[in-house]
Amino acid sequence: MFAFTKAGAKKYLLGFSIGASALFAPFAVSAAGCSFKSSASPDMRAIVAENGGFPIGDDMCAKLNKNNLRLDFSGMATVLDGVSVGWASVTISDLRTGLTSSEHSMNTAVNARVASMDKAKALTYEALGSAVRTLDLNKAMAALKVEIAARKR
């Protein structure tokens, strides 16, 4: 549990992995010429669009496509007690089975100097980029492979 107050908080970034699931709306996105399947809430899609596109590298994009995977992400921007907060969570799903990996990456960004929804949305995009960079795609793919095999038994 995190408690933020304007007096005590400074801008910082937290990163950790979680094993949770969320509801997503599917859509296709592109990053630097590479298109991939993705799903997110309408609010997260808007944040990605407002910031010029999805923060993903060509290598990850190619690996998602090669392995028939979808990148699922969620997050939120808010202002709490005068502190701008943005968080994002990222995982993968198999396009053939619809199963989602138990491996996630989540990041939270906080700024106590500027309390606004615009800042919170920018922090959410920052957190999304960090979550994408810290997602261990190979580990997430391995976990997904185990989950798919378990369903076939």
pLDDT tens digits, one per residue of 42-101: 999 999 999 999 989 999 999 999 999 999 999 999 999 999 999 999 999 999 999 999
Q: Judge whether 43 lies within some domain.
A: yes
Domain count along the chain: 1
Q: Check residue 102 and give its pLDDT.
A: 97
Confirm if 38 and 27 have CB atoms less than 8 A apart: yes
Confirm if 101 and 140 have CB atoms less than 8 A apart: yes
Polymer length of the chain: 153
Instruction: Quickly state the pLDDT bin for 17 (edges 50, 70, 90).
Output: very low
Cβ density class 9-35: b for 16+ within 10 Å, e for less? beeeeeeebeeeebebeeeebebeebe
Q: Judge whether 4 lies within some domain.
A: no
Q: Which residues pair with 73 in a beta bridge?
A: 90
Q: Judge whether 103 lies within some domain.
A: yes
Q: Judge whether 128 lies within some domain.
A: yes
Distances (CA, A) of 92 to 17, 89, 149: 13, 11, 16
Residue 139, domain extent: 12-152
Phi, psi of 119 (to 5 degrees): -65, -40
Q: What is this structure's pTM?
A: 0.79
Q: Judge whether 1 lies within some domain.
A: no
Q: Judge whether 94 lies within some domain.
A: yes
Q: Judge whether 104 lies within some domain.
A: yes
Q: Judge whether 6 lies within some domain.
A: no
- Neighbour count for residue 70 (Cβ, 10 Å): 20
Q: How far is the C-alpha of 66 from the C-alpha of 60, rounded, in Å?
A: 10
Confirm if 6 and 83 have CB atoms less than 8 A apart: yes
Confirm if 125 and 107 have CB atoms less than 8 A apart: no
